[in-house]
Structure 1
Amino acid sequence: MYKTGTTLGIGAIGAAIAWALGIPAPFLTGPAALVSLAALMGVTTDVPVQLRDVCFVLIGVGMGAGVTPEVLVAARQWPIPLVALSLLLLVIFFGGSWALGRVFGYDRNTARLAATPGHLSFVLSLSTEVKADIPIVAVVQSLRVLILTLLVPAVVALITDADLSMSTAPATPMALPALALIVVLAIGLGLLLKRWNIPAALLLAGMAVSTAAHGAGLVPGGMPLWIAIPTFVIMGTLIGTRFSGVTLALVIRAAAASVFLTVLALIATLVAALIVHHLSDLPLTDLMIAFAPGGLETMAALSIMLGADPAFTALHHIYRLVFLTVLVPVFIPARVKRRRRPGRG
């Protein structure tokens, strides 16, 4: 309990500092930065699984509250950005893995797994089955997510007029009884999806139940700020806890590769978003959040903060996970063979 309280306290301080300084998306970026720093300085950080899961459900509910009939009409334009996202993922994966091998000296499997633009749990599970530097893969991927979390809001603030202060409450907050019922139903559905090994099961369940309730006109309004802000603070804190137990020396080893991959991803994402925006007239903010290869839950939280189309964001990040699930194993073929025991075969 003390460890959790300390971690959440650091996250809250980070959010307050970022908000006071006017940093974009302060309730997410502030905790992520300060908790990461504290973890690297030796502070043991932790967010309980139960609190994390409730946070995921609430983010999903917040996304579902933004799905409207107009969103569904706009879905006719979505095949264009899906094609662009496929090409973007190929550029990041092959460009990043080539550079990590040629410039940074990583072996083939380590380079390709570290350069994979997202799907961290899947990447780490593959790392255990092949000959790869697992600590480097984990830290490069974690640093990439952290840097993207910090930089994507800043880039969006520079190229659009989106309000990233998260200070404006929804016109009509959801009634608490309706919100409580949606959360309970979402948790039940999420636990079922987890049994089927669906990625981001609780977040998707929250979005599905909330979308159904809002789309049918049964529940109006958005997430109340007094619930949304702590949820984002916990999400940012959770990102920072990835560095608990990681040594500074390992971070220094992985830093250059992480920065390179992040810059590559940001430039490629921005170029792809600008091209699709020109071709389809879809909002640039929506495209940036949908294309940025950060964690699904993190990008979902940012989509709520920036008022991006939640269904558009969710579809593209789910597609990214499916695309990588198919792509990566094809180019990581060298699995470790078990040695035969003497006297057998």
Structure 2
Amino acid sequence: MVRFGYPSTRLAVWWREAVVIGIAAVGGALFSLIGAPAAWLSGSMILSAVVAFIRPLPVLRRSWFDSTVLLSGTIIGSAATPEALAAAARYPGSLLVLLAGMAAIMASTGAYLRYVARWSWVDALLAATPGALATILAVAQAKGANVGRISVVQLFRLLVLVAFLPSAMQMTGLHPDLPVSASVIVGAGTMLVLLLSGFAVGLVFERMGVAAPMMFGATFASAVLHGTGLIQGTLPPQVQIAVLIMLGATMGGRIAHIPRNELLSLFPLAAGGLVVSLAVAFAFAWPAARLAGVSYASAMTAFAPGGLEAMAMLAFAMGLDTLYVGSHHLMRFLVIGFAMPFVIDRVKADLPGR
């Protein structure tokens, strides 16, 4: 006899996934009720992480993640209006500062993990690399690095950034709590065109071997359609909230797959590495903000060593310059994806195990 609530294996999977998404939604709703900044993203991620630490949560299927990044890429790309693209002419200098900042973050945080934690240079540099978590873990696996401790440092940094960066900005006055201006909402037909276009470009990028193809494909397609003026407006607020909840559930749930003893033992090192990374990143963000003519809050979010989709959607949730933040994280993602395998090979050749 089949137990109530589990009439089939497929329904059982759906039920467990509904619980995971429900937990994230409750966290986002609670944070929204208390008026926390970026509430739906930070609240869903924090509650998911807390529950996952107490009792591991099931893993959402890949289709959930692909759908989420397709939608988030579409939202991010909608910021590329003709007016915003005209303003982006100020970005080249800021992007050059970003590249220098990336090198400084990796050198300083890598040195901290190498000389304080006594890690190998390969592990230290991979853990210190700002953002592009999936790419870094893939490189770590391919190069025989310690994936476990690298993932702890990377995930800790991402979780703290999403959870506390908005509140820190608000409390320090760097990002006053101002209402986000209303924007045009696209209809169902236009939304379908955007999603199908992003999906098609994503499939092309996948065939080309581009990392995170659905995210980049949706962002590119949406940016082209909005930048040329063919489409105006963004996705409905309900869809935007759902995307933030799904991203929070995905990020928070990852903590369930890290061994508890390893997580606790690496916590002090991860916290120290985060402090070093943020100090360097925010130091470089200041001149970049001046060069680009954007707020320091936008520059902080653009230079913060977090993941592309998380930080771009965080900027969106806080009403910052999404195009500026997204372009910088996209640049960093691409540079890391192309350069890190060669950098690690060079380090292993010059400093094997040292």
Please, what TM-score do these two structures have when normalized by structure 1? 0.89
Corresponding residue number in structure 2 for 1:45: 58
Contact 1:112 1:332 in 2 (8 A): no
Contact 2:82 2:226 in 1 (8 A): no
2:38 to 25, 40, 48: 25
User: Which amino acid in 2 is paired with 1:176?
Assistant: A
2:216 equivalent to 1:207: no
Name the stretch that deviates more: 27-36 or 71-80.
71-80
2:73 to 35, 60, 65: 60
Corresponding residue number in structure 2 for 1:281: 293
Corresponding residue number in structure 2 for 1:183: 195
For residues 85 and 51 of structure 2, the distance between their equivalents in structure 1, rounded to whole angstroms, comes to: 43
For residues 125 and 55 of structure 1, the distance between their equivalents in structure 2, rounded to whole angstroms, comes to: 21
Corresponding residue number in structure 2 for 1:2: 15
What percentage of aligned pairs have identical amino acids? 25
Name the stretch that deviates more: 216-225 or 234-243.
216-225
What is the deviation of 1:169?
7.5
Matches within 5 A, 1:147-158: 147-157=160-170, 158=172
User: Which amino acid in 2 is paired with 1:238?
Assistant: T
Compared with structure 1, are the counterparts of its residues 109 and 264 closer, same or farther at alpha carbon in structure 2 (3 Å cutoff)? same
2:154 equivalent to 1:141: yes
Q: Deviations over 1:55-108 (max 9, x none)?
A: 111111112222122222222221211121112111110111111111122222
Structure 2 alignment gaps of length 5 or more: 1-13, 350-354
2:339 to 314, 326, 330: 326
Q: Deviations over 1:116-167 (max 9, x none)?
A: 1122222222222334322111222111111121122223323433548xx8
Contact 1:39 1:244 in 2 (8 A): yes
For residues 56 and 192 of structure 2, the distance between their equivalents in structure 1, rounded to whole angstroms, comes to: 35
Contact 2:76 2:316 in 1 (8 A): yes
Compared with structure 1, are the counterparts of its residues 259 and 328 closer, same or farther at alpha carbon in structure 2 (3 Å cutoff)? farther
User: Which amino acid in 1 is paired with 2:159?
Assistant: L
1:95 to 98, 108, 111: 108
2:310 equivalent to 1:290: no
Structure 1 alignment gaps of length 5 or more: 336-345
Contact 1:65 1:222 in 2 (8 A): yes
For residues 132 and 57 of structure 1, the distance between their equivalents in structure 2, rounded to whole angstroms, comes to: 31
Contact 1:96 1:115 in 2 (8 A): yes
Contact 1:172 1:222 in 2 (8 A): yes
Contact 1:55 1:235 in 2 (8 A): yes
Contact 1:170 1:221 in 2 (8 A): no
For residues 174 and 180 of structure 1, the distance between their equivalents in structure 2, rounded to whole angstroms, comes to: 10
2:133 equivalent to 1:120: yes
Contact 2:57 2:256 in 1 (8 A): yes
Contact 1:67 1:309 in 2 (8 A): no
2:261 to 249, 265, 289: 249
Corresponding residue number in structure 1 for 2:205: 193
Task: Give the alignment's Cα RMSD to 1 decimal.
Answer: 2.1
Name the stretch that deviates more: 324-333 or 192-201.
324-333
Compared with structure 1, are the counterparts of its residues 23 and 46 closer, same or farther at alpha carbon in structure 2 (3 Å cutoff)? same
For residues 89 and 328 of structure 2, the distance between their equivalents in structure 1, rounded to whole angstroms, comes to: 14
Corresponding residue number in structure 1 for 2:7: none
Partner SS for 1:24? coil
2:169 equivalent to 1:160: no
2:84 equivalent to 1:71: yes
Corresponding residue number in structure 2 for 1:338: none
For residues 292 and 184 of structure 2, the distance between their equivalents in structure 1, rounded to whole angstroms, comes to: 31
Compared with structure 1, are the counterparts of its residues 171 and 110 closer, same or farther at alpha carbon in structure 2 (3 Å cutoff)? closer
For residues 191 and 232 of structure 2, the distance between their equivalents in structure 1, rounded to whole angstroms, comes to: 10
Contact 1:64 1:210 in 2 (8 A): yes
Q: Which runs of 4+ in 1 moved over 4 A?
A: none
For residues 321 and 43 of structure 1, the distance between their equivalents in structure 2, rounded to whole angstroms, comes to: 29
